[in-house]
Amino acid sequence: MNSWITNWKKIKIKVKKILKKQPTDKQKTDWKSCPQCKKISYLPDLIANYYVCECSFHFDFPAKNRLDSLFDSGYEIIDTANSIDPDPLKFEVDEKYKYSDKIKKYQKITQQKSALLCASGKISNLRAVAVCFNPLFGGGRLGTVENEDFLTAARHAIKEKVDLWIVIFQSSGIDVHTGVTGLAGGMVKTIIAMDEIKKAGIPTFAIAARAVTGGTLASCYYKHDFLIIESKCVSDILFSGRRVTENILKSSDQIPEDFGTASGVMKAGLADITLESRKELKETLVRLASIILKRGELLDKKDSTTNSPEEQISTSLQKTSEAV
Can you list the alpha helix ranges (DSSP code H) found in the chain? 4-21, 43-48, 63-70, 99-110, 144-160, 179-199, 214-218, 242-249, 262-267, 281-292, 301-305, 309-323
The amino acid at residue 247 is N
pLDDT at 56: 93
How would residue 319 be classed by pLDDT, with cut points 50, 70 and 90?
A: low
Ordered DSSP codes for 116-131: EEEEEEEETTEEEEEE
Strands 204-213 and 164-171: parallel
Paired with 118 in beta bridges are: 131
pLDDT at 246: 72
Please give the Cα distance from 214 to 249 (Å, whole number).
17
How would residue 97 be classed by pLDDT, with cut points 50, 70 and 90?
A: confident
Residue ranges and CATH numbers for the domains of the chain are 24-59 (no CATH), 62-281 (3.90.226.10)
123 touches 96 (CB < 8 A): no
How would residue 26 be classed by pLDDT, with cut points 50, 70 and 90?
A: very low
Q: What are phi and psi of 255, to 5 degrees?
A: -75, 125
pLDDT digits (tens, 9 = 90+) for 181-239: 888 777 889 999 999 999 999 999 999 998 999 989 999 999 999 999 999 999 999 99
How would residue 28 be classed by pLDDT, with cut points 50, 70 and 90?
A: low
Give the global pTM: 0.81
Cα–Cα separations (whole angstroms), residue 176 to 99, 150, 171: 11, 18, 13
Please give the Cα distance from 153 to 79 (Å, whole number).
9
Q: Residue 58 has what DSSP assignment?
A: B
Answer whether residue 308 shows pLDDT above 80: no
How would residue 305 be classed by pLDDT, with cut points 50, 70 and 90?
A: very low
Paired with 226 in beta bridges are: 205
pLDDT at 179: 86
Could you give the angle at the alpha carbon of 265 between the alpha carbons of 259 and 271, nearest 5°?
Answer: 165
E strand or H helix at 92? strand 92-93
How would residue 279 be classed by pLDDT, with cut points 50, 70 and 90?
A: very high
- CB contact burial 202-228 (16+ within 10 A = b; e otherwise): bbbbbbbbbbbbbbbbebbbebbbbbb
Q: 295 or 165: whose pLDDT is higher?
A: 165
Mean pLDDT over each residue of the chain, to the nearest integer: 84
Cα-trace Rg, the chain: 22
